[in-house]
Amino acid sequence: MECAGKVKKVRKERNMKSLQEDIKNQDFKRVYLLYGEENYLKQQYKGKLKKALIQEEDSMNFSMFEGKKTEPKEIIDLAETMPFFADRRVIFLEDTGFFKNQCGDLPEYMAELPEYICMVFIENDVDKRNRMYKAVKKYGRAVEFNVQDSNTIMRWVLGMMKREGKKITPKDMELFLSKTGTDMGNIERELEKLLCYTMDREIITAQDIENVCTTQITNHIFEMIRAVTEKNQKKALDLYYELLALKEPPMRILFLLARQFNLIMQVKELSKCGYDQSQIGKKAGIQPFVVKNYLTYARKYSTEELRAAVEECVAAETKVKTGFMTDTMSVELLLVKFSSI
């Protein structure tokens, strides 16, 4: 299984390198699909393709479609229209749903794309069994952009810091990433704030990070879980009220609460099976540097207690949906209970 995972990763890296080569050599496929969870990278490569494919002032031969109301027939008709005083007609299509839902005759049309056409699809949700996905993969290039692993993200951040003449300790880097999460777009925004704040200094400190970096909502939830596991009821409730003040819906907080307890349970079971920190991270789908926190929390609960906590979250959701209790109150009562065990 581990070997299969490495093969998949190598294939994804090759696909990204192939896309880079296409752009560098100006040797383009007739159709591309950019998809996956890492929106930052998707948007970066969308921009690179757009810049490479069309002249800045050429609006006659560039079309952009967005959303699930995009009509396949309209796309085909446009693709059949010759470019106006140019070598290429470029069509960008974003979040169309064609790779999960009905897409008319588009899959068959991929085999007949005119030489002057370049279509670029940018999608979040893709079903690899879908006809459209198979057609694009056969006649063009499909590139998946997944959330990057912790080592890749750290190297990327350190590279940006080095270019700005900044240094940071490994411990403070972990603090920075614990606040930003793994979303590369958010990391870039928070790093920009940090660089501006430390403009006249070489070393970035933990205090700098605390002073200017915003904790992501999911990490706010993580802090709330930590308070619960430490039986710090006041802090857990204060964090909950802060989330409510930030307009975070109680039902989303409940979902994330259940998810965190479920992850702690998974980490506990994987640790029992003898997996190391890196292996646990891969199998549970979390960053390895975060695993040690989950292991700390896991030691404070039995598997039965964690399972019961997840089940109580599900029961609380049912009570809210049936009108037995308000959403705000249901989460508050859970936090009180979990931090009192």
The segment with the largest mean pLDDT, out of 210-224, 279-293, 312-326, is 312-326
Q: Within the chain, where are the H helices?
A: 2-25, 39-53, 72-79, 106-109, 131-139, 150-163, 170-180, 184-197, 206-212, 217-229, 233-245, 250-272, 277-284, 288-298, 303-321, 327-338
pLDDT(326) > 60: yes
Tell me whether residue 274 is exposed, middle or buried, using C-beta atoms within 10 angstroms of its C-beta: 0 to 12, 13 to 18, 19 or more.
Answer: exposed
Over residues 21-49, the mean pLDDT reads: 94
The model's confidence at residue 88, banded by pLDDT at 50, 70 and 90, is very high
Over residues 102-127, the mean pLDDT reads: 94
pLDDT(5) > 60: no
| Confidence (pLDDT) at 71 | 93
| Confidence (pLDDT) at 341 | 60
HSE, side-chain direction, 13 A CA sphere, residue 9: 11
| Confidence (pLDDT) at 223 | 82
| C-alpha dist (Å) from residue 292 to 149, 173, 271, 298 | 16, 15, 11, 10
| Confidence (pLDDT) at 3 | 43
What is residue 33's three-state secondary structure?
Answer: strand
What is residue 31's three-state secondary structure?
Answer: strand
pLDDT tens per residue across span 11-24: 555 678 899 999 99
Kindly report whether the global pTM for this prediction surpasses the value 0.75.
no
| Confidence (pLDDT) at 12 | 57
| Confidence (pLDDT) at 294 | 87
| Confidence (pLDDT) at 13 | 57
Question: Mean pLDDT score of the chain, rounded to an integer?
Answer: 89
| Confidence (pLDDT) at 231 | 85
Structural domains present in the chain: 2-144 (3.40.50.300), 150-212 (1.10.8.60), 217-338 (1.20.272.10)
| Confidence (pLDDT) at 2 | 47
The model's confidence at residue 150, banded by pLDDT at 50, 70 and 90, is confident
| Confidence (pLDDT) at 226 | 82
Of 28 and 147, which is predicted with more confidence? 28
CB 29 within 8 A of CB 141: yes
Q: What's the CA gap between 15 and 289, in Å, rounded? A: 27
* Residue 167 DSSP one-character state: B
pLDDT tens per residue across span 242-296: 888 878 889 988 988 898 899 999 999 999 999 888 888 888 877 666 788 889 8
The segment with the largest mean pLDDT, out of 124-133, 148-157, 239-248, 278-287, is 124-133
How much of the chain exceeds pLDDT 70, in percent? 95
CB 190 within 8 A of CB 179: yes
Q: What's the CA gap between 76 and 86, in Å, rounded? A: 19
Of 151 and 331, which is predicted with more confidence? 331
The model's confidence at residue 4, banded by pLDDT at 50, 70 and 90, is very low
CA geometry: angle 182, 176, 243, nearest 5 deg = 75
pLDDT(33) > 70: yes
Over residues 172-199, the mean pLDDT reads: 89
Q: What's the CA gap between 283 and 269, in Å, rounded? A: 11
